[in-house]
């Protein structure tokens, strides 16, 4: 298990503080995008989502029927914290900054954006349940067989949901944004992203 978590940590794209814990960086990795490239920032965030979700999936798969190790607890706590903060900020970046501009500029975006917003709502419900179940496991030292099955099912659903969601965003929505949004709109989105991170 320790090796699996170490691999997940090693794939992180940059150093980021999460409640006092420093995540590892991948040597030679492409640096994260800046506020001048908000679409790139969203893609970078997708890589973090995939990494942290991977931790939540690996731990429930490998630690069934026992207490979590200290390393597993720390990794899970960091992942849950990321989804409470960075994940919510990512959703706000899309729903408050990018999607409204796409809706104004391109009628074809509506169908994909509506679906993506539905995905965000489903993911929020799943994340609340996953956090509750992991918190029980961490605090009590064990998780019932029924709750373990539910946690396994919900993390698997999150993985499936994010996989399809990210594919639509990166292959369709972000590509369309790069085509139709002018430099002024991109700069305004970047400014809004910066404001959310103050």
pLDDT in tens, 65-124: 999 999 999 999 999 999 999 999 999 999 999 999 999 887 776 788 999 999 999 999
Q: Give the separation between CA 88 and CA 80, rounded to whole angstroms.
A: 11
CATH number of the domain residue 149 falls in: 1.20.120.520
Give the pLDDT score at 111. Answer: 83
Task: Render pLDDT for 156-169 as a digit per residue (tens, 0 to 9).
Answer: 999 999 999 999 99
- Name the nearest CA neighbour of 149 among 50, 77, 61: 61
Whether the predicted pLDDT of 7 surpasses 60? no
Query: Within 13 Å and on the Cβ side, how many CA atoms surround 128?
Result: 5
Identify the pLDDT of residue 15.
34
The pLDDT of residue 30 is 64
In angstroms, the CA 61 to CA 171 distance is 30
Compute the distance between CA of residue 153 and CA of residue 79 in angstroms, rounded to an integer: 18
To the nearest whole number, what is the mean pLDDT of the chain?
87
Q: How many structural domains are present in the chain? A: 1
| Nearest residue to 34 via CA among 186, 184, 165 | 186
**For the residues 131-137, what does the mean pLDDT come to?**
98
In the three-class reduction of DSSP (H, G, I as helix; E, B as strand; rest coil), residue 14 is classed as coil
Residue 37: which domain range? Answer: 2-196
pLDDT of 11 > 60? The answer is no
pLDDT of 61 strictly over 50: yes
Least confident of 26-30, 37-41, 87-91, 110-114: 26-30
* Of 14, 10, 53, 23, the residue nearest 165 (C-alpha): 53
Helix, strand, or coil (residue 18): strand
């Amino acid at each position: 298990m320790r090796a699996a978590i170490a691999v997940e940590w090693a794939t992180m794209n940059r150093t980021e503080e999460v409640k006092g814990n420093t995540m590892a960086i991948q040597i030679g990795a492409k640096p994260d995008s800046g506020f001048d490239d908000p679409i790139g920032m969203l893609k970078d965030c997708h890589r973090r989502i995939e990494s942290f979700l991977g931790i939540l999936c690996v731990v429930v798969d490998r630690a069934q029927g026992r207490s979590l190790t200290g390393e597993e607890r720390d990794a899970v706590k960091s992942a849950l914290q990321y989804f409470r903060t960075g994940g919510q900020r990512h959703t706000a970046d899309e729903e408050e900054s990018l999607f409204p501009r796409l809706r104004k500029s391109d009628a074809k975006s509506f169908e994909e954006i509506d679906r993506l917003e539905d995905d965000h709502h489903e993911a929020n419900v799943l994340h609340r349940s996953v956090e509750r179940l992991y918190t029980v496991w961490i605090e009590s030292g064990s998780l019932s067989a029924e709750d373990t099955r539910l946690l396994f099912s919900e993390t698997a659903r999150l993985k499936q949901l994010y996989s399809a969601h990210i594919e639509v965003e990166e292959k369709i929505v972000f590509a369309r944004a790069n085509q139709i949004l002018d430099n002024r709109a991109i700069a305004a989105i970047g400014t809004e992203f910066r404001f959310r991170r103050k």
